[in-house]
Structure 1
Amino acid sequence: MKLLSLCLAGTALLLSACSTTTPDIIDPRTFRAQGNEPGWHIDLQNGHASIVLNYGDTRYTSSAAQTLMGSTQTRYSGQGPNGDWTLTVIKQECSDTMSDQSYEYTSILKTEGKTLRGCGNYIPQP
């Protein structure tokens, strides 16, 4: 019985030694979500957000926490000057009817008591 206890304790110790935590992978790309009426966009990169609302009348930066909501949805959130904001990004084709451009992602921004819908893509790096 003592030998079994020692074996179980040793196995638990080995398993805990094998488990590692990996740091968040930093994505060098910028994701841009944008919409119309009123014009807005948000750029996300490395845990930060640059937000432009109301055709450019409101601009601010914020930290952006990322939460995976499944295999096709990611939610970003942060604090703006007028309260919290959240951006839900859905891996679903989106069409901007004003520019007739297609995007890989649908985006929903909730901020300042409004829900703004739009599209999004990763911005190509030079």
Structure 2
Amino acid sequence: MKKLALLAPLALTACMTNAYDEDPYDGPDSVMDGAYRAIGNEPFWSLDISDGRMSFRNADGYAASESNFAFTPDPRLGDVYQGQRIRATVIDRRCSDGMSDRTYPDTVTVEIGTQVWRGCGAPLRFFETTDERGEQ
């Protein structure tokens, strides 16, 4: 039982909030305002949302995409992007990927069938303008 207690903090680092007062990215309120990327690790995966398309890919070679999906802002759940196969929930809560010092503005959950991936996300501009520490 002690071993499980020691491993619990490691499991939480995949997507945790932090105590920073400043938002590391002051960008669009909605993913629909521009290109967006979410990433996660253990296992590695990515989700891109742009030009009316959601594209998911993981390290095992699995890929899925949607060209028709609905956007629903939900004050309790966050922004929900629902296609026939992919459901992505973006919550405005800072997140750390657990592998770098970068802090992302959003916590993201992706569901495809019974599989669930948890990670962090930001508008694509965030990835292009910040370093591994999340600094510009």
The TM-score normalised by the length of structure 2 is 0.62
- Unaligned regions of 5+ residues in structure 1, if any? 1-25
CA distance in 2, matches of 1:58, 1:67: 26
Q: Deviations over 1:33-84 (max 9, x none)?
A: 111111111111242111112x0501232123211112871001113xxxx2
Q: Tell me how far apart the structure 1 counterparts of residues 118 and 124 of structure 2 sit (CA, whole Å).
A: 19
Determine if contact 1:72/1:91 at 8 Å carries over to the other structure. Answer: no
Which structure would you say has the larger RCO, counting Cα contacts within 8 Å and 6 or more residues apart?
A: 2
Amino acid at match of 1:103: Y
Mapped contact 2:89–2:108 kept (Cα < 8 A): yes
Aligned-residue offset at 1:85 = 2.1
Alignment of 1:84-99 (within 5 A): 84-99=85-100
Is residue 58 of structure 1 aligned with residue 59 of structure 2? no
Q: Distance in 2 between matches of 1:112 and 1:37?
A: 19
**What one-letter code is carried by the residue in structure 1 that aligns with 2:63?**
R
Quick one: distance in 1 between partners of 2:99 and 2:74? 29
Q: Residue 79 of structure 2 corresponds to which residue in structure 1?
A: 74
Match of 2:45 in 1: 40
**Is the contact made by 1:85 and 1:111 (CA closer than 8 Å) also made in structure 2?**
yes
How many residue pairs were aligned?
95
> 4+ runs of 1 displaced by more than 3 Å?
none
RMSD between aligned alpha carbons?
Answer: 2.2
**Unpaired runs of at least 5, structure 2:** 1-31, 130-136
- Between Structure 1 and Structure 2, the one with more strand by share is 1
